[in-house]
């Protein structure tokens, strides 16, 4: 072991000791997540509960189980551990970010972790190591977080920690690293990086943000790439144009006609779909898309999801828009904010 590796190992052990020392006996296991969630009021309590009752078990794909499903099954991998831990901390008003990063340069495999701000005002990185949920830190950068995970053997020998990509802490769509994508204002140069149908959404996750864009027409993809901000219809048009996918709109509210716009790809008899900057799937039917959109707050929980309309991949509008309803200003809120 070289001097640098030895130093990182000592640092990892010290940071792990400092951040874990407040752990106590876990609360009793309960299969009802709604009962468990309020009781795990600190990061340390959540980590202790997860270590006591969950077992590491890899499962295929980039999509985590919902925290409720993971709590019931008690078996999952890094994406499930991170999503459960992030959802708990978010519930208790911690500042939380979920990251995917590449650790294997040969196969392109990714690891998922949580970075959060504790009550001391410092940031920590939380990751499973096998079946143990661990907390390291404090950390001041993603590079430092990655070094601590590498030094403690969270990842296999020869691993790296690069291509970090941030997601909402409770996100339950596909979690992939940034693929090394680089933003370029030139649309042709930017989109030349895309090789697979997930790539436009990964690019949008990395570089675009949600912002208001009233009206029936979406930005052309070239314009959205310059603005880097838009609404559901803008993201759907960008994704569809670059994947040759169909665009769909549907209604959420019969009184206002407010709704949502997504793009949908079919691959090996499964559906994959993009919503806002993010990518979801596989699912078996359109009916399976709606609960995921509600779970991730892309549409309201009372969305009826009717009046579906399809459009070709080159379509930019007009799309259905919300109508004004007199004396009910709340109904005018954009559903994808």
Q: How many domains does the chain have?
A: 2
Q: How far is CA 321 from CA 184, 255, 305, in A?
A: 31, 12, 14
266 and 142 assigned to the same domain: no
34 and 142 assigned to the same domain: yes
**Nearest-angstrom CA–CA distance, 259 and 310:** 14
**Nearest-angstrom CA–CA distance, 114 and 93:** 14
25 and 124 assigned to the same domain: yes
Q: Report the pLDDT value the prediction gives residue 273, as an integer from 0 to 100.
A: 98
DSSP conformation letters of 187-218: HHHHHTT--STTHHHHHHHHH-EE----SS-P
DSSP 8-state code for residue 277: T
Q: Report the pLDDT value the prediction gives residue 7, as an integer from 0 to 100.
A: 43
Q: Which of 167, 202, 220 is the last residue of a domain?
A: 167
Residue 290 lies in a domain: yes
Q: Report the pLDDT value the prediction gives residue 25, as an integer from 0 to 100.
A: 73
Q: Report the pLDDT value the prediction gives residue 324, as an integer from 0 to 100.
A: 63
Residue 175 lies in a domain: no
Residue 181 lies in a domain: no
150 and 204 assigned to the same domain: no
- Tokens 């200003």, residue? 329
Sheet containing 278-283: order of strands: 278-283, 270-275, 259-267, 246-251, 306-311
Q: Report the pLDDT value the prediction gives residue 55, as an integer from 0 to 100.
A: 98
> Tens digit of pLDDT per residue, the chain (337 long)?
554 444 444 444 445 544 444 456 789 999 999 999 999 999 999 999 999 999 999 999 999 999 999 999 999 999 999 999 999 999 999 999 999 999 999 999 999 999 999 999 999 999 999 999 999 999 999 999 999 999 999 999 999 999 999 999 999 999 999 999 999 999 999 999 999 999 999 999 999 999 999 999 999 999 999 999 999 999 999 999 999 999 999 999 999 999 999 999 999 999 999 999 999 999 999 999 999 999 999 999 999 999 999 999 999 999 999 986 443 433 333 333 3
Residue 172 lies in a domain: no
19 and 142 assigned to the same domain: yes
Q: Which of 111, 138, 167 is the last residue of a domain?
A: 167
Q: Report the pLDDT value the prediction gives residue 23, as an integer from 0 to 100.
A: 52
Residue 173 lies in a domain: no
Answer positive or negative: Cα dihedral of 168, 170, 173, 176.
positive
**Cβ burial 301-322 (10 Å sphere, 16+ → b, else e):** eebebeeeeebebebbeebbbb
144 and 212 assigned to the same domain: no
The boundaries of the domain holding residue 92 are 3-167
């Amino acid at each position: 072991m070289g001097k640098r590796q030895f130093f990182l190992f000592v640092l990892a052990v010290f940071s792990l000791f400092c951040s874990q020392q407040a752990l106590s006996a876990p609360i009793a296991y309960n299969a009802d997540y709604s009962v468990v969630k309020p009781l795990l009021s600190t990061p340390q309590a959540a980590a202790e509960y997860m270590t006591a009752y969950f077992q590491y078990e890899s499962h295929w794909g980039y999509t985590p189980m919902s925290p409720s499903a993971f709590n019931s099954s008690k078996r999952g991998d890094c994406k499930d551990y991170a999503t459960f831990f992030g959802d708990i901390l978010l519930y208790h008003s911690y500042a939380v970010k979920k990251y995917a990063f590449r650790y294997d340069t040969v196969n392109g495999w990714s690891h998922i972790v949580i970075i959060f701000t504790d009550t001391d005002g410092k940031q920590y990185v939380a990751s499973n190591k096998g079946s143990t949920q661990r907390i390291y830190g404090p950390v001041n950068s993603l590079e430092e977080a990655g070094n601590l995970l590498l030094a403690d053997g969270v990842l296999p020998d020869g691993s790296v920690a690069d291509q970090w990509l941030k997601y909402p802490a409770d996100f339950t769509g596909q979690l992939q690293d940034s693929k090394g994508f680089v933003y370029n204002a030139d649309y042709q140069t930017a989109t030349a990086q895309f090789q697979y149908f997930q790539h436009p959404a990964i690019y949008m996750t990395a570089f675009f943000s949600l912002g208001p864009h009233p009206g029936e027409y979406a930005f052309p993809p070239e314009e959205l790439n310059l603005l880097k901000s838009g609404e559901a219809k803008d993201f759907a048009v960008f994704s569809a144009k670059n994947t040759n996918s169909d665009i769909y709109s549907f209604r959420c509210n019969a009184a206002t006609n407010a709704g949502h716009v997504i793009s949908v790809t079919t691959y090996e008899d499964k559906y994959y779909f993009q919503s806002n900057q993010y990518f979801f799937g596989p699912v078996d039917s359109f009916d399976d898309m709606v609960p995921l959109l509600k779970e991730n707050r892309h549409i309201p929980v009372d969305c009826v999801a009717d009046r579906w309309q399809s459009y070709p991949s080159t379509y930019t509008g007009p799309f259905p828009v919300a109508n004004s309803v007199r004396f009910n200003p709340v109904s005018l809120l954009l559903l994808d904010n």
